[in-house]
Structure 1
Amino acid sequence: MQRAWRERIETGAMLAPSVVLLVLFVLVPLCVVAAYSFALRDPYGAVLPGFTLDNYRELFQSVYLLVFVNSFKLAAATTVLCLLIGYPVAYFIAFRAGPWAPALLMLLLIPFWINFLIRISAWVVLLGRGGLINQGMLATGIVDAPVGMLGTLGATLVGMVYAFLPLTVFPIYAALQPIDRRLLEAGADLGAGPATTFLRVTLPLSLPGVLAAALFVFVPSMGVFAIPVLLGGGKEIILGNLIVQLFLEFRNIPLGAAVSVLLLVFSGIGILMYMRALRRVEAMK
């Protein structure tokens, strides 16, 4: 009995610093934002104590619903593109790279060592009218005049895919790496071609990694701020831009807090859907 209590005390002592930091820097700020979302606001932007649901009712106006739709479309497009590009990359590293796999994974990690804004700002230089991409197309005769790529949806998607692609590759690679190669050999021995073996063996076994990758990309894509502003020119307002504008420009902190809470709710729904889909995948094995 004493040994069990001693182990519990030791475990609690080891977890205490993490729990305290989690409460202070995650739970408490979330509670503050949630409280602000029900608060009142005076004509000058000051937050007044009180309780109202008007902040959430206002979000059902068409202008705000359009922002939610745009955010969902951009996040969905980013997720699909990252999966289409990231899966082949992860597959190559897991099955074809051989001894070069650690080096390739390291190359994917290197961008994380550089400040996020610096990496996105580099794309402003690349995609600009005088950037390397336009210069290359002019030199090869593909175009006769510089193409305006900044301020477009395509530029925003390029930046989004660039930013979130590593978050797609790593979970898929982690799911592909443990697959027993003898299963692939068995499929070939039984007459299945490469495509059939991939669809019947490799893809189902890697679905947990695919689901995790989709979650890691979709959730942050809903609230990203810097990329649509720097590369898209802020033309398409999404949730991240809306929150910043409501807090800093319009001084409507309660409404901005309400948008933040809804974004958190969407993230929670995405996590629940991921857990449910993961349980179904595990049950199919």
Structure 2
Amino acid sequence: MTTTRPQDRTDERAASSRVVERITDRLRELIEPRTTSVPSWVRAHAGPCPVPPPAPSTSYAAAMRRLTPEHRGIPTCVECGYALRAGDGQRLVPRSHVVEHPPLLEQLHDAIVGSTAGAASSSGPESRPTANLEALDAWTTIDQGMRFWVGAITNRQPAADVEHLTVDLIRRLPTVDRDDLRCIDHDVLRFWARARVVTTWDTAPLKPHVPCMNCDVRGKLQVRLEPLLAVCLGCGAAWDSTTIGVLGEHIRIMLGDPISEAVLP
């Protein structure tokens, strides 16, 4: 007869808590906007500003009102708000530009709606771009997955929309047993990774032309470096930073090219 030590139970609870936190973070990206900080370079006076910089509470509009009419449209110093006139010494200073991104589900929805605009024209039905078909497939997969898990937990067929189902699932995660939590973690990784790849806004994902190690279909793997994840658009398999090493080794073997080591760890 084996006994469970108190420390083992504590470790299990801690592990489950980390899994719940990871699932929650990924689900929230589906339904909540997120922000990213993009570094940029802006102009400032090379030496001391001709006037003291405005107080931190001074708005950009208030600073602009200090410009004389003839200076409107001229680049301004990011620190004092006054015009950088010809002949003034200038320097570039780093600033972070914060960009807000809509929730992943909203981005998928917009891609689907955009793909159907004008489809019923007088010239007949039009084909939709592959990217938009991928968005529709990703949306459908997420919707079906949320309905399955909320239904399995509550033992009833849910009728809410996918956003409300996602909120409901987040709320119920702490009550799910360890085995189901592991399965939910696996499925949510697939949903989240696919949505992140399909809605890529900045850098296009890498597309190694090798067969997927899960379904053996070639040309469906897509890899993102930030965050580090990969997904097969054929079978829906997904890998995150904890498992992508296996996929990276598979890609290196299939490519037979040591250069690929610089792409995936």
Whether these two folds match at TM > 0.5 is no
> What is the TM-score of this pair, normalised by structure 2?
0.24
> What is the TM-score of this pair, normalised by structure 1?
0.23
Larger RCO (CA under 8 A, 6+ residues apart) = 1
